[in-house]
Amino acid sequence: MTTRRSCPPAPGPLEDYAQRFDVLFSSLAQRRGFRDYLQGLLLPRDRNKTLTGLAGAEPITGAQHREVQRLQWFLTESAWDHEVVNERRVQLLCQDPATAPHDGGVLVIDDTGDRKDGTATAHVARQYLGSVGKIDNGIVAVTSLWADERCYWPVHAVPYTPASRLAKGKGDAGFRTKPQLAVELIQAAQQAGIGFRAVVADCFYGDNPGFTEALGAATIPFVLALKARKGTWAPAEAAHTPVEAAGELGWQGPRKPGQWRRIRRRFRDGHTETWWAADAQLGGWGPGRRLRLVVATTDPARLPVHSSWYLLTNLPRPASRRAQQANLAEVVRLYGLRNWVEQGYKQVKGELGWADFQVRSDRAIRRHWTLVCCAFSFCWQALLAEQPIQPGPPGSPAAASAARGAQPTGRPRRTSQGLLADGAAGGAGLADPMERATALLAVMVASPAAPAVARAA
């Protein structure tokens, strides 16, 4: 057996992280490619993080340079398993007490789309893209993310293949709807040993009966948003939409709240807000039913669009009045954690180049997404090495904060080169992995990923 050759080390703290994946790569070229790809993703750039961008080469004239071709080979042709690499990444997060998942967190399900030209790239077609808010040509990924008040990190991501890309359309054996893919991601998270209090998702999934039925059949707790005016069957004299059901809860003011209960939400920047929540009755949903409709808002009289939630949950309602108020606060807390998935998209897209790939095969796209998630997870390790935060299993300070209804929030955007969690609130233990990106990666900037490429360009 030949001796494994040592790999040129990655700059600074990235080497310690990369070494944990070395056993998954069979050759020196793969180990080196892994380091160089992550380094390229992490370096601040003034253009998209395509392969030429990652290697520091000119966009067109540098495409054939050996360093660019080396990264191209690593991403598209080299024999390594992206699923195994992702399993290792998740395992490392689960082993670290500061990022380990626990039963007080949530598993956030969502999907995100990005524009892509043509149809030669796998999974690309005309479809609804959430990032642009309309139907356009692009690619969509269904994702899962674990989150609590301390931290958040992506778990799995799979591409959605529109029916138009399949030979038999929706009748093709390989076709999966986004809710079906989401159920598979939840099962994958459970198989990975990731604990969570509930699955949370927006109204696209909450309004899908197949999704809620699948979770109910698997006895998986969930808190899912509903559209305010989602109609349902009911007697003519009863409410027919969630917003109509909220209007029947007897609100006459803070001193005569009717069925509403006061909820105090505490945010990361220290401020608090008074919300109101209540169990509503709508069709077959109600306080004593298998599925409950929970309404939460800042103003029960006006039900503002941007600060009113209509939530479908299968979490049981306790019997006592005091416990019911605590339960309502818990439902609001759980859904509030969904905001982290939006913050995560901002980071992986704005800083780490999630959608900047210029490869066409399904395997290469999945590999790129896996490497972006590795870069994101490395940021957590680097942050925690400098600024440890409390672990969050029950009984910890984070868990106590969660019981009070603590929530993440945003503040006006900051401008800082290399800032990954741009726009997030400040505060101790904030999930802001690249707060010190300039200092953390200064050694990388001083030692470019591909010195020869710069000269060639």
Span 24-64, pLDDT tens digits: 999 999 999 999 999 999 988 788 999 999 988 888 888 88
Helix (H/G/I), strand (E/B), else coil: 16? helix
pLDDT band at 382 (very low <50, low <70, confident <90, very high): confident
Helix (H/G/I), strand (E/B), else coil: 194? coil
- Which of 65-74, 83-92, 389-398 is modeled with the greatest confidence? 83-92
DSSP states along 230-289? ------TTS--SHHHHHTTS----TTS-TT-EEEEEEETTS-EEEEEEEEE-BTTBSTTS
Share the mean pLDDT of the chain: 84
Span 418-427, pLDDT tens digits: 333 333 333 3
* C-alpha distances in Å from residue 249, one per residue of 81, 236, 261, 318: 54, 18, 11, 19
Would you list the domain boundaries of the chain?
A: 203-337
What is the value of pTM for the model shown?
Answer: 0.85
Q: What is the DSSP letter of 300?
A: T
The pLDDT score that the predictor gives to residue 409 is: 36
Span 278-332, pLDDT tens digits: 999 998 899 989 999 999 999 999 999 999 999 999 999 998 888 999 999 999 9
Contact in structure between 330 and 323 (CB atoms under 8 Å): no
Q: How far apart are the first and last CA of the chain?
A: 41
- Return the amino acid letter for 427: G
pLDDT > 90? residue 406: no
Span 206-252, pLDDT tens digits: 999 999 999 999 999 999 999 998 887 777 777 889 999 999 999 99
Span 149-198, pLDDT tens digits: 889 999 999 999 999 999 999 999 999 999 999 999 999 999 999 999 99
